[in-house]
A and B are shown apart, each in its own frame.
Chain A
Amino acid sequence: MMIRAKYTKKGDLVYLSHLDLVRLFERAFRRAGVPLAFTQGFNPHPMISFAAPLSVGISSEAEYFDVMLSEPLSTVEFISSMNNTLPSDIQILQALQLDEKPVNALMQEAALMVYSVTFSLEQPFQNNKLAESLDFFLNQSEMIVQKKGKDGSGKGKKGFGKRKKMKQVDILPYIHSFVIKHQEDDAAELLLHIKVFDQATIKPLLIFNKWVEVSDVPVALNTVFIERKEICKLDEDQQYISIIQ
């Protein structure tokens, strides 16, 4: 039996790396007495797959994993036994029983990431400055940023020899939308929808920082707070819906 679960990653636990998080969940499953299914072979491990790893330092209200159980378990029981043993900053919000193993891994289903970015200003806004600046940003023909590539030296290299190459990427094709959600005199919340192509995407901070760089909005950089709000997939009508729908 397969369960898809939505969970939070907040507070101090935003500083956990993806691998730390995976380990934390594997141990929580065992503490909670959730009957995990294991892979066969010499080194059995639980069958869990996570959606798009979150950057260290970014908070989230919508993280996902799929997990295979060896015995049936109600989603209600799954949620309560897990939440009992998980830290308060990581809690399961929703669980869905999948009828069968999904055709695509969770990572491949993800098509759109929704982020909220809040920040304060060093001095108050003038009129429509914020909206204009976002418009200007999105209407450029390209917006190039330096992005860390995957493994620059190809496969097979390990340890300290592995160096990530920087590459240049145009971020605009990745931006689905970048709009104002809420605005005060000296603070704002923006909503940033970022597309995922073939499991490749752009980190929200990279986009936000580029906007700050080219706009003249006086963002107080030490107040920036980014939170993932949702991960979406494409339904049959090519509409974005939550990955747990």
Chain B
Amino acid sequence: MTRLNIKPLLEKVEKPARYVGNEVNSVNKPMTENTIRFAWCFPDLYEIGMSHLGSLIMYHLLNEQENVFCERCYAPAADMEEAMKHAGMPLFTIETKSPVREFDIVGFTLQYELSYTNILHMLTLANIPLLNKDRTENDPLVIFGGPCAYNPEPVADIADLIVIGEAEEVILEVLNCYEEHKSDRSIFLQEAAAIQGVYVPSLYTVDYKEDGRVESIRPISEKAGLTIKKRIIKNLDESYFPEKPVIPFLNVVHDRATIELFRGCIRGCRFCQAGIIYRPVREKKPETLAKTAKNIIANTGYEELSLTSLSTSDYSNLKVLTEDLTASFEQNRVGLSLPSLRLDNTTMDILKEVQKVRKSGLTFAPEAGTQRLRDVINKGITEKDLLEAVKNAYEAGWNQVKLYFMIGLPTETMEDVEGIFDLVVRLEQEVYHKRDKQYTHPLKISVSVSNFVPKPFTPFQWVPQNSLNEFREKHRFLKEKFRTKKSIQFNYHDADTSVLEGVFARGDRRLSAVLLKAYEKGCKFDGWAEHFKMDKWVEAFHECGVEMDFYTSRGRDKNEVFPWEHIDVQVTKDFLFKEYERALLEKITPHCRAQCNACGYQQTGTGGLCP
């Protein structure tokens, strides 16, 4: 085993603590010849990677296994990359400072489409061939997973194996299979392909129609199934959750303890991919959560605990849980934070209790400016709810409100865009009206507008995305409007990156070549505005003969074969299309607890119970 001496490099870089490892609760263990060495690679900086709950779960879960040692690796920042190149040093893991190339398995998590070039970047720094066809038994096995893996095609030529769905169980099955067949990669891949939730892209071939659309996606091995069914943890309450998580040295993006209340979401917002792919809703018991939370705080000393989920106010026992936790943590000044809230009255009451002392800003996500458009996207929230919530929050002492909107949603007109401005102004007036009477502190409102990106496995997977110019025109329009309202802070997301995200979200296998070309031209850290180079991307698409518009602004037929057609998320295409039709009719669909909408999950007979 090689241990690189990174010390001389650390003197030269801005944040050396990113690379030293050995944080409290990090794992270092003795290895034998039989130890499977797993490099958990996050295609971004340490501060981003260490904020990701899924990585934390997988890191500790893998290290619980006696025969596995999982180490972490992050993309080096530009200064470190420079120092590494200068010293001729390859990409290394932060636990033992071993070259990533020496590992048996190199795993990347796909959290964001714009991090794909960083995967190529890290493989290059590690001296690992980028394409699966170029790798041999002497190279590590390269595997992917994570939410973006539900449409694995844009990275299909890169990965040896892709995990579809929740990885906690399937990863251990993959490792067992690896242990048995590690001497022959081709046999291993064939055997692994038979595991539910495992996709081996090299065992499938894609045929295209003359116009470029997908004709079919076919397995070319007997072991590979026609479809790859996602994996889920059936009993989340008993699933593994780390109670002694690594505590990062640096102030990372989410620098706090986290517990996961449930997976899935009852809501069914039509733009939301997570709301579909993580189905069905599975809650943990409040007792389990309270016990986990207390152990984590005892083992980490964190001053804040976040209760996460896709929609935290939908947790059935939120009141019981928060009361229990507030009581136990009050003396030690451990605060609770509740992200992803819907601000109804019950939730407001809980929030007032929880944040008695420390009142951080509140975030609301109306998503659209008019009731019509909110009905289209099935965001079951009315203007009255919103006014009520902001008023309540203001009266309870909050002085900062953040509002999230999207532009470019299907059926959107300029009236809907203007509706964003009008709604915000009405909210502000509501509070100012209050303020005259009894309150004096100002309310700081900030508005963030992002650009809608249609995602696979949503009712909007058929719709054209707005073009660059459409996005820009809407930005200009809103900017002009908000210029007259100096009291409101207005931000919007860059249109270029949203369009590129749109390409890769619904992209096919031909995009692997574009990725390689763009990386060759110097594209990396695309999610960082200061590194993003749209001109290079445009060149790369052009040189590969691939049209961006084909993936973004093209409308799709009901029966179009999608590049992700072979991935089965256990929600039917029929259901998604019906939801799309209801969207066009501006019809709301009730949430899963109010009524089963037959999305397909229960019919699959896997026995999971929806809420």
Contacts and interface: CB of A to CB of B under 8 A. Distances in A.
B298 A16 contact: no
Contacts of A42: 357-359
Nearest to B299: A31
Nearest to A19: B251
B4 to A, nearest CB: 14
A19 B249 CA distance: 10
Contact of A29 (B11, B20, B250, B301): B301
Interface residues of B, number: 28
Interface size class of A (residues with CB under 8 A): 20 to 34
B332 A44 contact: no
Interface string A9-29: 000110111011001101111
Contacts of B22: 12, 87
B301 A26 contact: yes
- Please classify the interface of chain B as helix (H, G, I), strand (E, B), loop, or mixed, using the class held by over half of its residues: loop
Contact of A15 (B20, B251, B300, B332): B20
Interface in B6-47: 8, 10-11, 15-17, 20-22, 24
Contacts of A32: 301
Given A26-B301, A42-B359, A57 B17 contact: no
Given A20-B249, A87-B24, A27 B303 contact: yes
Nearest to B300: A27
Contacts of A27: 24, 247, 300-303
Contact of B17 (A16, A26, A30, A31): A16
A46 B334 CA distance: 12
Nearest to B358: A43
B416 to A, nearest CB: 33
A44 B357 contact: yes
A241 interface: no
Contacts of B303: 26-27, 30
Given A15-B16, A44-B357, A31 B251 contact: no
Question: Taking each of A15, A28, A44, which has the highest tally of chain B beta carbons within 10 Å of its own beta carbon?
Answer: A15
Contacts of A19: 251
B301 A31 contact: yes
A229 B334 CA distance: 36
Contacts of B332: 30
Contacts of B300: 27, 31
Question: Taking each of B249, B299, B301, B332, which has the highest tally of chain A beta carbons within 10 Å of its own beta carbon?
Answer: B301
Contacts of A20: 17, 249-251
Interface in B300-322: 300-303
Nearest to B334: A30
A30 B301 contact: yes
B540 to A, nearest CB: 30
B28 to A, nearest CB: 12
Contacts of B301: 26-32, 85
A222 interface: yes
Interface of B: 8, 10-11, 15-17, 20-22, 24, 247, 249-251, 255, 297-303, 332-334, 357-359
Query: Which A-B residue pairs are the 7 nearest by beta carbons?
Result: A27-B301, A30-B301, A15-B16, A31-B301, A12-B20, A15-B17, A20-B249
